[in-house]
């Protein structure tokens, strides 16, 4: 997740209005689902790939690596669609193998179609998450009338998911250093203790956060300055971003 | 002349026998750098929570410019506009997804317009050396950067009294100087800065005045040379009891 976050902050269309990027992803997904043809999906996949590399400047290798990871899962679930298991009929001579694997033209096409379509949709989502920081997505969600409470929750979840991971890592390391996972039984005990601690720690933090929010005159609603973005025409005008100065290109 | 006056404050945490603050009286005038020292559990953090109206004393009164603090919603907001607090762990104070948004929240809570809030964010980012980090997600900051971001979030509200609870603790020497410079620049503009610390050398060199708390009371108070007449080696000050 940190990895994706890093791309989101360091790509060439970082400052582009998230509505444009989300709109593009959405259109790609709708096209793939609407036409439902392998070659349409393949074309969409290719387009997304080209834009990710040429427009957003994402490294091709990383894009493919992430996609490959997702594809591995997909292929596993597509195989049963392509292949069906049949029991040999009684008319046949004594079978060498009691079951037969069968791939028909239809089932193969079906599987291929499903695979390309899903891959294209996933890569559209990858494009969005690798070019758009979560702050911008939350900001985008706040534009239509999404209830404020949802926006606040999204902000907090994003903010603290990393804190929780860190906390979990620290506690796991502490347990490991004391051989807490030596046998299955101690492992279960350790996991239980870690979970309980994590819960308490979360509670403690939420109390502290509330105190510090109150000290800043918080009255129940998070007020922050909305983000500013480059409009879509910046794509062809190629002017450097003027809104906020382009900040930290170094890795996060 | 603005003044914050802790008038005979007593406070005991629920479920605890010994009071955390036990009849503490302290006047804090404007335009000073004050170091708050004393052993762990002496009541420094509790005093800071009282100053901000987070804790309401069991007995005694917090007065600002002579008037007792009104603990209704409006009165508390008025207190917090004037008294800002940076807590011990900056991690607990940053709630927004990025630094810019986090700093902007205080000024917006004060009712400033987005334009005014923007100006404040940029000015305070400059002061705290955060200009290049405004775009960063808060979770991707280092410890020193988190401290400065938390400080910036409070300074953006322009408090007359700034309380900082052990903020220089876990910082490397360079960042520490940077944070102290930020506090100094705030004090130089005729604001009061109260810094709690366990570092006696820091207290002696930095502060105009030292307040030493023990067991929820003021143990000693005065200029650094009055508090540490023979230097800051702890062996010289063996405490009884
Ligand atoms: N949340 C709390 N609940 C119960 N007791 C507390 C709490 N916070 C502090 N105390 C107690 O209050 C006393 C003063 O603590 P504190 O103000 O944190 O001291 P200091 O900041 O000087 O180390 C200590 O005895 C401490 O144990
Ligand atoms: Mg403390």
User: What's the pLDDT band for B64 if we cut at 50, 70, 90?
Assistant: very high
Across the interface, which of A2, A211, A222 has its CB nearest the CB of B54? A211
pLDDT per position as a tens digit, A137-179: 888 887 777 777 777 887 888 788 788 888 888 888 888 887 7
**Are B234 and B212 within 8 A, CB to CB?**
no
Task: Tell me which DSSP letter residue A236 carries.
Answer: H
Q: In angstroms, rounded to a whole number, what is the distance separating the alpha carbons of residues B186 and B167?
A: 15
Instruction: Dump pLDDT digits (tens) for B72-118.
Output: 989 999 999 999 999 988 888 898 888 999 999 999 999 999 999 99
Please state which of the ranges A97-101, A117-121, B130-134, B169-173 shows the lowest mean pLDDT: A97-101
Q: Name the percent of chain B lying above pLDDT 70.
A: 98
CB contact under 8 A, B135 and A212: no
pLDDT at A242: 44
Q: Does A65 reach chain B within 8 Å, measured CB to CB?
A: no
Nearest to B93 among A135, A212, A248 (CB): A212
Average pLDDT, chain A: 82
d(CA A97, CA A110): 27
All structural domains of chain B: 4-237 (3.40.50.300)
Provide the b/e sequence for B150-175 (b: ≥16 CB within 10 Å).
bbbbbbbbbbbbbbbbbbbeebeeeb
- Report the residue of chain A nearest B115, measured CA to CA: A225
Residues B49, B25, B38: CA angle, nearest 5 degrees: 65
Q: Characterise A74 by phi-psi region: left (phi > 0), alpha (psi -120 to 50), beta (else).
A: alpha
Task: Judge if ipTM > 0.90.
Answer: no
Lowest mean pLDDT among A52-61, A66-75, A140-149, B3-12: A140-149
Q: Which residues pair with B64 in a beta bridge?
A: B4, B67
Q: How far is A158 from A160, CA to CA, in rounded Å?
A: 6
Rounded Cα–Cα distance for residues B55 and A55 (Å): 54
pTM of the entire predicted model:
0.79
- Distance linking the first and last C-alpha atoms of chain B: 39
Number of H helices, E strands in chain A: 9, 2
Dump pLDDT digits (tens) for A10-23: 888 888 888 889 98
């Amino acid at each position: 997740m940190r990895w994706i976050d890093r791309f989101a902050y360091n790509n060439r269309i970082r400052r582009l209005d998230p509505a444009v990027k989300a709109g593009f992803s959405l259109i790609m997904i709708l096209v793939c689902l609407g036409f439902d043809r392998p070659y349409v999906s393949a074309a969409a996949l290719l387009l997304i790939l080209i834009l990710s590399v040429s427009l957003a400047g994402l490294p091709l290798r990383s894009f493919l690596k992430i996609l490959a990871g997702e594809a591995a899962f997909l292929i596993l679930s597509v195989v049963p669609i392509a292949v069906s298991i049949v029991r040999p009929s009684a008319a046949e001579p004594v079978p060498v193998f009691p079951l037969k694997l069968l791939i028909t033209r239809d089932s193969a096409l079906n599987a291929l179609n499903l695979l390309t379509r899903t891959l294209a949709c996933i890569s559209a989502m990858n494009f969005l998450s690798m070019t758009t920081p979560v702050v911008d997505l939350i900001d985008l969600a706040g534009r239509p009338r999404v209830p404020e409470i949802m926006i606040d929750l999204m902000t907090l979840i994003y903010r603290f998911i990393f804190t929780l991971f860190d906390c979990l890592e620290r506690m796991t390391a502490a347990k490991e250093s004391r051989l807490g996972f030596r046998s299955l039984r101690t492992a279960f005990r350790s996991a239980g203790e870690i979970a309980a601690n994590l819960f308490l720690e979360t509670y403690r933090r939420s109390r502290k956060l509330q105190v510090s929010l109150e000290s800043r005159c918080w009255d129940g609603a998070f007020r922050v300055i909305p983000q500013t973005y480059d409009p879509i025409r910046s794509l062809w005008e190629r002017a450097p971003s003027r809104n906020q100065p382009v900040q930290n290109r170094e890795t996060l | 002349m603005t003044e914050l006056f802790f008038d005979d404050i007593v406070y005991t945490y629920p479920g605890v026998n010994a009071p955390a603050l036990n009849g503490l009286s302290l006047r804090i005038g404007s335009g000073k750098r004050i170091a708050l020292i004393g052993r762990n559990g002496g009541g420094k953090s509790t005093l800071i929570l009282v100053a901000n109206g987070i804790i309401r004393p069991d007995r005694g009164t917090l007065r600002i410019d002579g008037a007792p603090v009104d603990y209704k919603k409006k009165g508390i907001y008025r207190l917090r506009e004037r008294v800002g607090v940076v807590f011990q762990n900056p991690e607990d104070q940053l709630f927004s997804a990025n630094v810019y948004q986090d700093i902007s929240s205080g000024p917006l809570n004060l009712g400033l317009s987005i334009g005014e809030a923007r100006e404040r964010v940029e000015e305070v980012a400059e002061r705290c050396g955060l200009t290049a980090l405004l775009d960063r997600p808060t979770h991707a900051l280092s410890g020193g950067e988190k401290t400065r971001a938390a400080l910036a979030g409070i300074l953006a509200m322009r408090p007359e009294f700034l309380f900082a609870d052990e903020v220089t603790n876990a910082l490397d020497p360079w960042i520490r100087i940077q944070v102290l410079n930020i506090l100094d620049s705030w004090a130089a503009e005729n604001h009061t800065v109260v810094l709690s610390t366990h570092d006696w050398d820091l207290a002696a060199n930095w502060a105009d005045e030292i307040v030493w708390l023990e067991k929820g009371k003021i143990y000693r108070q005065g200029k650094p040379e009055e508090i540490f007449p023979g230097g800051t080696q702890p062996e010289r000050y063996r405490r009884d009891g």
